[in-house]
Structure 1
Amino acid sequence: MSLSNAVASLSEIRFYDPPYGEFGIARVLKESEGRWTPLFRGVGKGFSGVGNVIDTRPKLYRFLGASSDEEAYSKLLSALESPTSLDFVSTWQDLYREVDSLYDLPMVRYYEREARPYITSGVVVGAGPGGVYNASIHRFSPIGARKAVIRLVPRHLYHMYKMSIKQGREVPIAVAWGVHPLVLLAAASSPPYGVFELGVAARLLGGLKAVSLENGAVAPFPASVIIEGFITAEQAEEGPFVDIVGVYDRVRLQPVVRVERIYVLRSEALLHYLLPAGLEHQLLMGFEREARIWKAVRSVVPGVKKVRLTRGGFGWMVAVISLEKAAEGDAKNALLAAFAAHPSLKIAIAVDGDVDPDDPVAVEWALATRLRADRGLFVIPYVRGSTLDPVALNEEGLTHKIGIDATRPLDADPVLFERARIPET
């Protein structure tokens, strides 16, 4: 399944033509998110671009073949637990042309203080020690025609990199740019180490083709662009770039990638421009964590209505859980389960089933009318949270977490908490 096929299935597409200007694509992405899918023609010779492919739940659920939160969560969690094998293609190179330089690829900057154009939706597939493969999404920015710097956070690819460099070997990788959105969703997930995320994508798609590269890495097929190379021991400054919190990430030393080959589809190559901190970024990054919160909370409180990693918490650090509690303490158990399921979570709020977590005004109303701070608030001090938190106590994300029980006290008269409604005519 290709990105082009996925985009063709969407109903609301608007076409754009050059010239785009330095930040023109970013402005269109911001204007259109949550509204329509922009398709950019002529972003480079032989290239077109697209964005906001899965910036809303209806779009994501359509690709998943799901009609509800529960069905979508269940499909993703099932795929994470039972990935399937890939279908390797032996004859594929004739469909691609090779380009000489990373600068031949029409990357863009999205915000004014970003260091350089870069790829924001590249699926990086690494081949680690012991035959372990990992697929994940990482910022990838050129610092030369055949050199790039890659942002590695302390997760699986970082672990593979550290082990490999310690053993005196480089990490073979493929960077696939322009892939089916469910490949992106799988790559944004975090199954246990050793579970190959492309196998998760294969389960979600009902099959996924892949290619083997000369360096030992693999790539999903057909990707619009496949970059073959090695993560080396060399380091270079990376950033500033905008991460999901919508602020500029600090400049740091990160590993350098030595690029061996750059393959581009001979037919029009469709690139995916993913706006940092945009709705698509938030949904991709947070959806699997939301599913894990849903599963964990249901195990301690069966009456869960809805779970949301909120837009204000950029789909990552703030969760709202609506539930029907059977006894006092259920809400706090739900909040503790949420923190355990998603360690980057900083604030978790429990509300009653009549409060919609998608409505921030309704959540604030619950805080105003149902929270008793003396028994509804608790703080978990000095615990690891998100490295994206600008006020974390160190680079590992050490922080204090807050749980908020904004549910109605069961020992109070329920009439006092009934929401007034105007009857239908």
Structure 2
Amino acid sequence: MTDTPASLGTRRAPYTDLRQWLAHLDATGRVAVMREGVPLQHTLAAIAKRLDGQKAACFPRPGGHAIPVVSGFMARRAWIAEAIGVPESGLLAHFRDAADHPLPCNEVPGHAAPCQQIVHRDVDVLKALPVPTHSEHDSGPYITAGLVIARNPVTGVQNVSINRIQVHDRQRMAILMLPRHLLAFYQAAEARGQALDVAVVIGVDPLTLLASQAIAPIDTDELEIAGALHGAPLDVVKCVTNEVRVPAQGEIVIEGRILPTERAAEGPFGEFPKYYSARESREVIQVDAITHRAAPLFHTIIPAEMEHLLLGSIPREATLLAHLQRSFSNVLDVHLAIGGVGRYHLHVKIRKTHEGQPKNVICAAFGAHYDIKQVIVVDDDVEVHEPLQVEWAVATRFQADRDLVVIAGAQGSVLDPSTTVGLDFSDGAPPAHLQGVSAKMGLDATRPVAYHEHVFTKVRVPGEDDIDLNAEIDPAGRVDFL
């Protein structure tokens, strides 16, 4: 893994404020400011996509709206490490340590919370906020970077997640909830005939944004993990219309309720696998209020691009590494390949000690997260973050009749369109219990523990890693080759 100059050396103070982080990116040539008035429908997303991983994008007065839109400020792995203040090679360990040692939040009064400087109780979401329409066949404008915060109706402990939200009209929005903690909270409330109070927070600092994606037990408040990443308790404030606590430094907060029994059409929407998910009946958020800073910023994530993929993959990597190392101390590193949309393809580096061990690691990885569809296990001389090295290991150390593991009919991602190929659902989308049924594939791309002479010794030239090319190249040197 290669560290950028900004991330080398001892740990620096993290960037715990969104505006401070954007100013830093701008000062280092990593923000592009667009002309005023870029259309919110497709054009904004198209520009941000073209800049993906190169520069963050800022759109003043998008579609004539007074609130600027920002995107792409977490679109490189090195930037995320830089924001946290650690070397890129220490990113997973630092995130895992924060997840293991959360800090309780610090509640502040409303007058001390920037996110409540302005309060609107009678709102029209699309007039109040510059919500873009992203992909070609998206069914409308979507909030894609909103932290959805809800309280467990039984225990009161909060959960934080990012969910896609389609804005339908003035005060109603449809939300996709996958079978995770937020859906469990909603189902518990709905069983009581109650709405689930929620807040959708748009525009938070990079560490809180990353913490929202932690894979944690159901009664773990991800805002406490954000505090651990900050190195101090996160300031939160109680919403003005419900009991949900939100980051006090947030830019915009939509307060509302997910209504019991009510559903509305949602989708199609271009999702992280780079395909559209189907139009289906989803739960409905009734908006009760919008609060925001005096001059807020609106953050949008371009679906299926680097900011989207990295925010999902890095917290998962940290969790997967910890899970595997509990059973296999010789697991050294993991990587969710971007070619596998940051979710489906896992590369695992091990220091192999026994034949057959990689197959055990493969099985353990499939059990660690149901999204994982393919696992490649490689030796400690292969860099799992470099796709060419992993492919080389498969090409030279893997034989399908000996080293392939296939598991049929397992639970996979409901957003993987290949899982429903060949099934006839002429009346619409498949029922929930049949969605995401997937085959899993594992590849043992490790060399034998013992082998003859140098058959599996990786070719290298002595000194290749240490040579100083600046000292060896003569900048004034010329040769007449004719």
Q: TM-score range by the shorter chain?
A: over 0.9
Distance in 1, matches of 2:453 and 2:372, equals: 31
2:318 equivalent among 288, 291, 315: 291
- The answer to whether 1:265 aligns with 2:280 is no
Deviation of the 1:413 alpha carbon: 2.5
CA contact 2:78–2:88 (8 Å) conserved in 1: no
Give the structure 1 partner of residue 447 of structure 2.
Answer: 408
Give unpaired runs (5+ residues) of structure 2. 1-15, 421-432, 465-471, 473-482
- The answer to whether 1:46 aligns with 2:66 is yes
Give the structure 2 partner of residue 30 of structure 1.
Answer: 49
Deviation of the 1:193 alpha carbon: 0.9
What secondary structure is seen at the aligned counterpart in 1 of 2:363? helix
Counterpart of 2:276, as a letter, is Y
Q: Normalising by the residue count of structure 2, what TM-score does the alignment of the two structures yield?
A: 0.83
What secondary structure is seen at the aligned counterpart in 2 of 1:286? helix
CA contact 2:37–2:60 (8 Å) conserved in 1: no
CA contact 2:17–2:205 (8 Å) conserved in 1: yes
Deviation of the 1:25 alpha carbon: 1.8
Counterpart of 2:203, as a letter, is G
- The answer to whether 1:73 aligns with 2:100 is no
1:158 equivalent among 172, 179, 183: 183
Bigger Rg, which one: 2
Distance in 1, matches of 2:413 and 2:374, equals: 11
Deviation of the 1:94 alpha carbon: 6.1
Distance in 1, matches of 2:399 and 2:217, equals: 39
Task: Map Cα deviations across residues 274-320 of structure 1 (whole Å, 9 max, x no partner).
Answer: 11111111111121111122123333443434311001100000011
243-252 or 92-101, which moves further after superposition?
Answer: 92-101
What secondary structure is seen at the aligned counterpart in 1 of 2:143? coil
1:378 equivalent among 405, 408, 418: 405
Give the structure 1 partner of residue 425 of structure 2.
Answer: none
How does 1:130-279 map onto structure 2 within 5 Å?
A: 130=154, 131-205=156-230, 206-213=232-239, 214-233=241-260, 234-267=262-295, 269-279=296-306
Distance in 2, matches of 1:252 and 1:134, equals: 24
Give the structure 1 partner of residue 459 of structure 2.
Answer: 420
In structure 2, the CA distance between the partners of 1:412 and 1:340, relative to structure 1 (3 Å rule), is same
Distance in 1, matches of 2:327 and 2:123, equals: 56
Distance in 2, matches of 1:375 and 1:27, equals: 45
Give the structure 2 partner of residue 331 of structure 1.
Answer: 358
CA contact 1:293–1:337 (8 Å) conserved in 2: no
Counterpart of 1:117, as a letter, is P
Give unpaired runs (5+ residues) of structure 1. none
Deviation of the 1:387 alpha carbon: 1.6
301-310 or 362-371, which moves further after superposition?
Answer: 301-310
RMSD of aligned alpha carbons? 1.9
Task: Map Cα deviations across residues 320-353 of structure 1 (whole Å, 9 max, x no partner).
Answer: 1122212212222222222222221110001122
Counterpart of 2:348, as a letter, is I
2:131 equivalent among 107, 113, 116: 107
Distance in 1, matches of 2:381 and 2:116, equals: 58
Distance in 1, matches of 2:216 and 2:331, equals: 24
In structure 2, the CA distance between the partners of 1:410 and 1:81, relative to structure 1 (3 Å rule), is closer
CA contact 1:301–1:330 (8 Å) conserved in 2: no
What secondary structure is seen at the aligned counterpart in 2 of 1:50? strand
Task: Map Cα deviations across residues 209-255 of structure 1 (whole Å, 9 max, x no partner).
Answer: 11112222221122211111100021001101111101001111111
Deviation of the 1:148 alpha carbon: 0.8
In structure 2, the CA distance between the partners of 1:94 and 1:310, relative to structure 1 (3 Å rule), is closer
What secondary structure is seen at the aligned counterpart in 2 of 1:47? coil
What secondary structure is seen at the aligned counterpart in 1 of 2:353? coil
Give the structure 1 partner of residue 438 of structure 2.
Answer: 399
CA contact 1:18–1:42 (8 Å) conserved in 2: yes
Deviation of the 1:68 alpha carbon: 3.8
Q: Identity over aligned residues, as a percent?
A: 31
- The answer to whether 1:18 aligns with 2:36 is yes
Distance in 2, matches of 1:385 and 1:165, equals: 26
Task: Map Cα deviations across residues 111-156 of structure 1 (whole Å, 9 max, x no partner).
Answer: 1100001110100111231213211111112111011111111111
Distance in 2, matches of 1:118 and 1:262, equals: 16
Give the structure 2 partner of residue 8 of structure 1.
Answer: 23
Counterpart of 1:258, as a letter, is Q
Deviation of the 1:421 alpha carbon: 4.1
Give the structure 1 partner of residue 153 of structure 2.
Answer: 129
Counterpart of 1:279, as a letter, is M
Higher strand share: 1
What secondary structure is seen at the aligned counterpart in 2 of 1:391? helix
Distance in 1, matches of 2:108 and 2:317, equals: 34
Counterpart of 2:37, as a letter, is P
Counterpart of 1:112, as a letter, is E
Give the structure 2 partner of residue 364 of structure 1.
Answer: 391
